[in-house]
Structure 1
């Protein structure tokens, strides 16, 4: 059964074919997310963080639209990125993106694209079961839609293999794509933003766990500072594991840690962070902690903090 149908969405045409009466298919409590589509109401929890709430609403809209998707069509661009759970900024336009090899689809609440087959690889999403542009193609499609830093952040997320840190660490899950797949997607056909894609490819790194960590790294490099190491395991003088840090200058024993909301709201995470930072400082490391506002609103101050730390350590 189609994923949209499993979630209570159906087309009027299909309901008519199955003999469902007009009274039942047009009852008042059903929502009408798209022309010719009816769906059971699914409220998004208000307490969910804005980005998570936005993603949930767009994914839900895609699943509902999937019941009327044309043959050969797929979800693409920012919609595909959210289906793949890739890190995007808050979107100004929350319409869903649909691409087809034929005439661009037109429906309220959607952005239709007519795309050449050689510019997109369509796969069935492993969780949602709906047609979607594959991760590498999705990344290439985003070039004209988001900033260069965010394009690199999406690339960082795609090539990352989440792992357990430390001497007995192991990879938890494989990366969604590798650099060669991104390179092929960038070079296939005439893409919008081809120059931006080429530049982004040179700046993508493995081991970056979040969009803010990408920004933290790029701001330092563009501020004229050496590029820090990502996802760095730190060991003490006796070989004991002290912890893994987001960014590091190992020779100078400087660590940069991004403190997201979960570090503040999760008491267990907060305690682990405190203990790790104490171990690092006891071993002679300088730990620079940066929060969201410091990174996105006052980036020059953040870069200056790291610059001073580097100069004093040298």
Structure 2
């Protein structure tokens, strides 16, 4: 093999030949072949203990990086691929193919593992992200394109919530870690009248709230509201009667001292997280708070249990 060619994360077969690699080198069994004319030294087999959704997100991100190695200058990532790269909340997708778009007069790309699109120039904003200078639609435009993909109205809201979320350190010494990816106004401006899903997206924008840290938190809030119960606040900092900071809760009826905490699997399996949760919940209880602990099954499979617990907590504090 050539001495001065770095194959990470992906390389074209033509580039490899020019660098001195032989055809036998390029066709080696240990190299992955994500697309025609492309090789990668990273087959990217996820660890067995990674959740299925996280596996999918990792796979899409990896394929996008690989495709970027020979992407044309007029091409850019869009739809769910751009959403993954932005970190926008998504449900489990039907496939791991990447979405690549162009604007006229260019033609949409074709190939195995690629969904190609030609988008109208109007309403498309393209930006670059990360040290790799990945070209993709802006976060607001990305969300607007998801209307043709996400079928559940709660998922449209969850995606919008993640666009406007400000990542922060809570408490009296809190600080902003990362600003919002976009605004409600920017998402509204990115909607095109005749695009599929636009009506549902306009409704979704009226229901989006800043502060939701995950898709399950958005689903929890909307499930409670759609059951006819009052809407809880999101991302609430809680202090005890002496003004000491206790912690931040996912959702809350502040006046009634009712908190909803979504507990993903890492809350159970990561010891440090488990101890932090235990300490916070004990402190909340000492300060008179009622904590409703919410699981994925309650949100996505048995919402009547979540609704029943919310109603019970409200009755107790009425």
Pick the TM interval, shorter chain. over 0.9
Q: Find out whether 1:84 has 2:86 as its counterpart.
A: yes
Query: Any conservation in 1 of the 2:234–2:250 contact (CA below 8 Å)?
Result: yes
Aligned to 2:175: 170
Please, which of 275, 280, 284 is the counterpart of residue 284 of structure 2?
280
Q: Which residue of 2 aligns with 1:160?
A: 165
* Structure 1: distance between partners of 2:158 and 2:197: 16
> Using a 3 Å threshold, how does the CA distance of structure 1 residues 279 and 11 change in structure 2: closer, same or farther?
same
2:47 corresponding residue in structure 1 = 46
**Aligned CA distance change for structure 1 residues 35 and 307 (closer, same or farther; 3 Å):** same
Q: Distance in 2 between matches of 1:18 and 1:46?
A: 33
Distance 1:127 1:177 in 2: 20
Query: Residues 256, 93 of structure 1: CA spacing in aligned structure 2 closer, same or farther, 3 A cutoff?
Result: same
- Comparing 171-180 with 133-142, which one deviates more in the overlay? 171-180
1:37 equivalent in structure 2? 38
SS at match of 1:251: coil
Correspondence for 1:67: 69
Contact preservation (8 Å) 1:119, 1:189 = no
Give TM-score scaled by structure 1 length.
0.92
3-state SS, counterpart of residue 74 of structure 2? coil
TM-score by length of 2: 0.91
Q: CA deviation at 1:128?
A: 3.5
Matches within 5 A, 1:213-228: 213-228=217-232
Deviations 1:44-74 (A, max 9, x none): 2323222221111111111112233233111
For 1:131 and 1:6, locate their aligned partners in 2 and report how far apart those are by CA, in whole Å.
Answer: 21
Query: Number of residues paired by the alignment?
Result: 309
Q: Secondary structure of 1:112's partner?
A: strand
**Greater mean alpha carbon deviation, residues 300-309 or residues 61-70:** 61-70
Matches within 5 A, 1:14-163: 14-16=15-17, 20-47=21-48, 48-101=50-103, 102-146=106-150, 147-163=152-168
The ranges of structure 1 where at least 4 consecutive aligned residues each deviate by more than 4 angstroms after the TM superposition are 16-20
Which residue matches 1:11?
12
Q: The residue matched to 2:90 in structure 1 has which SS?
A: coil
Aligned in 2, Cα 1:307/1:30: closer, same or farther, shift over 3 Å?
A: same
Matched residue, 1:183: 188
Q: Give unpaired runs (5+ residues) of structure 1.
A: none
Query: Structure 2 stretches of 5 or more lacking a match?
Result: 1-5
RMSD: 1.8
Cα pair 1:256 1:290 within 8 Å, conserved? yes
Would the aligned equivalents of 2:8 and 2:42 in 1 still touch at CA under 8 Å?
A: no
Shift of 1:218: 0.4
Q: CA deviation at 1:309?
A: 1.4
* Cα gap change, 1:166 to 1:30, in 2 (>3 Å): closer
Tell me by how many angstroms 1:20 deviates: 4.5
Q: CA deviation at 1:258?
A: 0.7
In the superposition, relative to structure 1, how do residues 154 and 127 fare at CA in structure 2: closer, same or farther (>3 Å)?
farther
Q: Specify which of 234, 237, 240 is matched with residue 241 of structure 2.
A: 237
